[in-house]
């Protein structure tokens, strides 16, 4: 009988530290599957963020670098410029990409660096204990917005993907979600496109993934998926942005 | 000439400049030295008084395999250097005092990930935005690590344009050898002034180090990871012990200084960088008058050249040391530590762009002789 599903070669066979229901494990696996399918594992150089996915290199089985919080795309820029034959991608959370690293993000995008960016938006800082992220929804309670995010005090959820799509250097932006098996398959197709773009030299490609954080949303894993579907994706509409 | 015009710019530089006597600014000499030493990546952000260095790199880092990027900030620049070093190439950035403060986070990460890199600080007056006059007030920041964590960087302080050029070869070699950041600590005076230098033969081989840890894609080997993060209990302590062993080895092998008339000197001046040139003038003037004055010029600021001070301190003839700085007293602490109270240490310093001049030094020495 033909074997149609197995553990991806690019994913180490180890248990992760992620909480039950967290989206990171799913996103890691999608990336590993895509890298296997495109047969680019030996060309990959990944840049792991600071945040919950800080030890992504313990789970992926290819070359990885860390980067200081937010400086992920600066590190990636240098590596890709020096080694254009390699496939370089960053994996960044909302704090890393859209708060402390906004400058690096906008300028790497504006330079049109031929990079692939996987952007995990879970509307909260997970690793540090559930503080407000730039993408936290209005009314959402976090450790630093105990009464809910209020526009008057904390501003609005930052739609960085829509912002980046305005830049000429940016070639592909899509927002996807991990809320259901069907959406996960769509997410995989989008991430694959972002990798293919780099292989074909198309340019800066970013996929934003709405990803559940049951722990700091104070929800069960099932409730978290429903919340993405019913609430979060209303603020951050799914689909191709550019 | 016709042929040359068709050659790439840095190729022209290589051919025309080799073993030639050229007139060049300190900033440009550092850039040219770096290129000849095999620097393949430069990222920088404009700040005075080091802008000629970045501009020179923009013009000459154009050959195959070389990358120049004007970064969006000093933070981005130093982290680009982190990435370039992780990819296994010789990488460098430069800035001046306020910009170097911004780079400290990145320098700490480079030290923590044991990556080789060269960082040039053409110091200006501080604190804060300060001014653009030459200064030596970043000595503490450079020699004590500067960023967070228990680490050191090698620090070299050139006092002439030629020495600035020459030290680039050594700096890239030692950065690779020890897998450590190396800082070139100059000041606005050194960066801006023009002096004739003799360039090196391009055939001179820079030492090459095998970088099996570099990120190149895991073809034919197990994956490499570049990181400074050690979460498991005990792992970070073990890593720090390893770093400390490395620093001990550096301290034993890499002390460098220039000695000028110290054998019979009653008063020994201690100064580095541009300041040492003025101090040297004062020594020459006083020697003409028959006064027994000498100078120690530390070239490596970290490791600080302790050996020479210890040797003098343990000799029967007790000497007085006069430390002269373009600051209100930073290196003087290292001199005191090296002498360990075995000889008197005096200090003369000015800051905020003020520079102790020859007359002030001579007067200070005369007051000590009386």
Give the pairing type, strands B181-187 and B117-123. parallel
Residues of A in contact with B106 (CB under 8 A): 68, 71
Averaged pLDDT for residues A130-158: 98
At A68, list the tokens: 């200081």
pLDDT class of B20 with cuts at 50, 70, 90: confident
* pLDDT greater than 90 at residue B2: no
Averaged pLDDT for residues B313-323: 86
User: If you write DSSP's letter for every residue of A32-98 in order, what string do you get?
Assistant: HHHHHHHT-GGGEEEE--SSTTTTGGGTB-SEEE---TT-HHHHHHHHHHH-TTSEEEEEEEHHIII
Residues A37/A17, Cβ–Cβ less than 8 Å: no
Nearest to A63 among B75, B77, B215 (CB): B215
Residues B81/B43, Cβ–Cβ less than 8 Å: yes
User: What pLDDT digit, counting tens, does each position of B28-62 carry?
Assistant: 999 999 999 999 999 999 999 999 999 999 999 99
How far apart, in whole angstroms, are the C-alpha atoms of residue B345 and residue B368? 11
Averaged pLDDT for residues B321-334: 98
Residues B313/B344, Cβ–Cβ less than 8 Å: no
Query: Given this model, what pLDDT does residue B3 score?
Result: 37
* CA-based nearest residue in chain B for residue A45: B217
Nearest to A54 among B84, B87, B229 (CB): B229
Nearest to B84 among A48, A63, A82 (CB): A82
At A57, list the tokens: 């290199």
Query: Given this model, what pLDDT does residue B205 score?
Result: 60
Q: Is domain A24-240 classified as CATH 1.10.10.10?
A: no
Q: How large a percentage of chain B has pLDDT more than 90?
A: 89
Tell me if residue B263 falls in helix, strand or coil: coil
List chain A domain ranges.
24-240
pLDDT class of B18 with cuts at 50, 70, 90: low
φ, ψ at B202 (rounded to 5°) = -65, -15
Query: Given this model, what pLDDT does residue B370 score?
Result: 81
All structural domains of chain B, each given as residue ranges with its CATH number in brackets, are 2-198 (3.40.50.970), 258-369 (3.40.50.920)
How far apart, in whole angstroms, are the C-alpha atoms of residue A139 and residue A123? 12
Averaged pLDDT for residues A206-213: 98
Q: Summarize chain B as % helix, strand, coil (round to 5).
A: 40, 20, 40
- Please tell me the distance in Å from A48's CA to the nearest CA on chain B: 10
* CA-based nearest residue in chain B for residue A39: B219
How far apart, in whole angstroms, are the C-alpha atoms of residue B264 and residue B20? 38
ipTM over 0.95: yes
Strands (E), chain B: 21-25, 41-44, 67-70, 91-95, 117-123, 154-156, 181-187, 194-198, 225-226, 257-260, 267-270, 293-298, 300-302, 320-325, 345-349
Tell me if residue A207 falls in helix, strand or coil: strand
Query: Given this model, what pLDDT does residue B7 score?
Result: 36
* CA-based nearest residue in chain B for residue A74: B80
Eight-state DSSP code of residue A158: -
pLDDT class of A92 with cuts at 50, 70, 90: very high
φ, ψ at B297 (rounded to 5°) = -115, 100
Interface with chain A: mutation pick from B41, B61, B70, B79, highest number of A CBs within 10 Å: B79
Those residues with Cβ within 8 angstroms of residue A28's Cβ, 6 or more apart along the chain or in another chain: A11, A16, A53, A56, A59, A60
CB contact under 8 A, A41 and B218: yes
At A96, list the tokens: 């890393």
The answer for A218, left when phi > 0, alpha when psi is -120 to 50, beta otherwise, is left
CB contact under 8 A, B76 and A71: yes
Q: How large a percentage of chain B has pLDDT more than 70?
A: 93
Residues A222/A166, Cβ–Cβ less than 8 Å: no
At B9, list the tokens: 């710019």
pTM of the shown model:
0.95
Residues of A in contact with B84 (CB under 8 A): 78-79, 82
């Amino acid at each position: 009988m033909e074997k149609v599903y197995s553990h991806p070669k690019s994913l180490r066979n180890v248990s992760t530290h992620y909480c039950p229901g967290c989206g990171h494990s799913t996103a890691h696996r999608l990336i590993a599957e895509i890298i296997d399918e495109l047969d680019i594992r030996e060309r990959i150089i990944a840049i792991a963020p600071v945040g919950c996915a800080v030890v992504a290199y313990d789970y992926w089985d290819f070359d990885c670098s860390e980067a200081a919080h937010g400086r992920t795309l600066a590190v990636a820029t240098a590596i890709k410029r020096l080694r254009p034959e390699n496939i370089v991608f960053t994996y960044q959370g909302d704090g890393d990409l859209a708060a402390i690293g906004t400058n690096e993000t906008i300028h790497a995008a504006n330079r049109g660096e031929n990079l692939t960016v996987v952007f995990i938006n879970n509307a909260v800082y997970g690793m540090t204990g559930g503080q407000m992220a730039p993408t936290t929804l209005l009314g959402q309670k976090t450790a630093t917005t105990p009464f809910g995010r209020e526009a008057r005090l904390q501003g609005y959820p930052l739609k960085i993907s829509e912002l980046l799509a305005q830049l000429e250097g940016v070639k592909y932006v899509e927002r996807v979600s991990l809320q259901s098996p069907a959406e996960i398959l769509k997410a995989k197709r989008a991430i694959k496109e972002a990798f293919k773009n780099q292989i074909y030299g198309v340019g800066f490609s970013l996929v934003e993934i709405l990803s559940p954080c049951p722990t700091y949303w104070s929800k069960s894993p099932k409730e978290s998926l429903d919340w993405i579907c019913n609430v979060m994706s209303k603020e951050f509409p799914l689909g191709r942005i550019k | 000439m016709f042929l040359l015009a068709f050659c790439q710019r840095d190729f022209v530089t290589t051919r025309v400049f080799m073993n030639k006597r050229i007139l060049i600014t300190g900033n440009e000499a550092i850039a040219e030295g770096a290129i000849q030493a095999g620097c393949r990546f430069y990222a920088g952000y404009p700040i005075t008084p080091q802008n000629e260095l970045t501009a020179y790199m923009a013009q000459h880092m154009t050959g195959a395999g070389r990358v120049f990027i004007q970064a969006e900030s000093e933070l981005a620049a130093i982290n680009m250097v982190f990435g370039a070093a992780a990819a296994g190439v010789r990488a460098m950035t430069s800035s001046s005092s306020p910009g170097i403060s911004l780079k400290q986070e990145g320098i700490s990460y480079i030290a923590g990930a044991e990556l080789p890199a060269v960082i040039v600080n053409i110091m200006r007056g501080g604190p804060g935005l300060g001014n653009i006059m030459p200064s030596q007030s970043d000595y503490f920041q450079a020699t004590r690590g500067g960023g967070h964590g228990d680490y050191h960087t090698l620090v070299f302080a050139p006092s002439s344009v030629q020495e600035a050029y020459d030290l680039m070869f050594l700096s890239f070699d030692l950065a690779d050898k020890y897998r450590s950041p190396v800082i070139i600590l100059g000041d606005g005076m050194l960066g801006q002034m023009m002096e004739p230098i003799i360039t090196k033969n391009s055939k001179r081989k820079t030492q090459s180090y095998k970088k099996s840890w570099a990120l190149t894609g895991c073809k034919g080997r197990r994956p490499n990871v570049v990181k400074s993060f050690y979460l498991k209990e005990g792992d970070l302590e073990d890593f720090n012990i390893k770093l400390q062993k490395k620093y001990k080895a550096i301290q034993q092998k890499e002390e460098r200084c220039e000695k000028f008339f110290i054998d019979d000197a009653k008063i020994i001046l201690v100064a580095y960088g541009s300041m040492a040139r003025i101090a040297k003038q004062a020594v020459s003037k006083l020697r003409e008058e028959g006064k027994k004055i000498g100078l120690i010029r530390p070239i490596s600021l970290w490791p600080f050249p302790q050996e020479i001070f210890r040797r003098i301190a343990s000799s029967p003839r007790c000497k007085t040391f006069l430390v002269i700085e373009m600051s209100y007293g930073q290196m003087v602490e290292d001199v005191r530590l090296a002498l360990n109270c075995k000889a008197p240490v005096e200090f003369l310093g000015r800051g905020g762009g003020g520079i102790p001049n020859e007359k002030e030094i001579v007067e200070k020495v005369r007051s000590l002789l009386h």
